[in-house]
Chain A
Amino acid sequence: MNGHDERERREHASLRPRAETAADDGDIGRVLRALPRRSAPPGLHDALMARIAQERAQQRPRATRAGGDPRPSRWGWTAAVGVFVYGWFVFVPLTLPLSGRLGGLFAAVWAACVNAGHTVAEKVHMGISAVPTGLEPLAGAVVWGGLGLAVTAMALKAARLPSIAIWRGVER
């Protein structure tokens, strides 16, 4: 370092003595610890508690709708079980023929995807010919089973039954 640089370094160090000289010494910690620790805005905690109180107030009428009992009502259980039974034992079996067609479509797309190296026409032909191979009931079951589960979940939600409560015997 020549004299000019050295003079510049000293001048600058005199302008900003503490932060940078400390940094030059490798004492980053001392520089950072000198920073002020801010406190939170005064109303932050109160605003949070107000929001929680508001949420609690909204929860209360919902929870006590059935005669002040915070547990899900019998109607809720009945509706949920009814939808579950209907979904799995009525809706799905009745729509199985349709699901077969839909499953066939999925099978066709799948076959078209996996049979690389063929022309598009060949892929389509192979996809269609893959339909009777037995994939369609499986695909249909997956599709419609998933739909049945989704319907069940929505029914539970509508009945305000927390899904976990089913397994815990509605303790909450």
Chain B
Amino acid sequence: MRGEEAALVRAARAGDDEAFGRLVRPCVAPSFRLALRMLADETEAEDAVQEALYKAWRSLPRFRGGAKFTTWLYRIVYSECVDRARRRRREPVSVASLSDTDVHGGGGGDGTGRGDSAKAFADPAAHVLRSEQRQIVEDALLRLSEPYRVVLTLFYIEDWSLKDIADVLQWPLGTVKTRLHRARHAMRKALSQTHIEGKRGFDG
């Protein structure tokens, strides 16, 4: 796989755009999810990913092969999202764009099988309950600061290793571990907060 990737990188650097397309295709969905978590806006996430991958294509001659191609690529995506978030200067407030009603094609063909639109027809009540639970978790996740949101997303949702996260975000490994630990605490707190607010809403 690594040899195939190297061959594709060589071809892409030589000007084979089809090879570049094959290289980035598996990275598009994870990039989009990362961008969506960071920007909380579907349109902007889509723009960010396209811009980042386009920049990667233009920067391909500068790719020396010191890091894995995917690491290099995700780093560009992350930087693009950081820039956009910085430009925007506001925290995401809407979670509508992250709701499960927008899930494309049953988990995106990544083998997780997490999309459950078919099951919704079989058991609507359970589906509604699951949707509500997801919304609570999404809401809590969006309350976290960007580094915590990103590290939780990459580690738990994308199943990246700590080393991969450290490489892409260019944080020391110890920082990744610390932030992950703190992010878990923050997430727990945010979920508790949602619990309290939900209770108030329910009572009131």
Point out residues on A near B: beta carbons under 8 Å. 8, 12, 15-20, 23, 26, 28-29, 31-42, 44-45, 47-49, 51-53, 55-56
Contact = CB atoms under 8 A, between A and B. Distances in A.
B135 to A, nearest CB: 9
Contacts of B108: 37-40
A39 B105 contact: yes
A26 B42 CA distance: 30
Contacts of B54: 48, 51-52, 55
A34 B134 contact: yes
Q: Which 10 A-B pairs have the closest CB atoms?
A: A39-B108, A32-B156, A40-B32, A19-B133, A39-B104, A23-B191, A40-B29, A36-B114, A40-B28, A28-B184
A52 B20 contact: yes
A44 B133 contact: no
B24 A48 contact: yes
Contacts of A26: 184, 188
A55 B104 CA distance: 29
B156 A29 contact: yes
Contacts of B158: 37
B49 A44 contact: yes
B147 interface: no
B157 to A, nearest CB: 6
Contacts of A35: 114, 134, 137-138, 141, 157
Given A15-B202, A38-B36, A38-B103, A51 B137 contact: no
Contacts of A36: 100, 103, 107, 114-116, 134
Interface stretch (B2-10, B68-76, B80-88, B192-200): B192-200
Given A12-B198, A28-B187, A36-B107, A48 B36 contact: no
Interface residues of B, number: 52
B46 A32 contact: no
Contact of B107 (A15, A34, A37): A37
A37 B33 CA distance: 7
A12 B203 CA distance: 11
Nearest to B115: A36
Interface string B99-126: 0101111011110101110000000000
Given A12-B199, A48-B24, A38 B104 contact: yes
Contacts of B46: 40-41, 44
A26 B153 CA distance: 17
A32 B29 contact: no
Contacts of B152: 28, 32
B61 to A, nearest CB: 8
Nearest to B35: A40
A45 B187 contact: no
Contacts of B112: 37
Given A20-B195, A28-B184, A40-B31, A34 B137 contact: yes
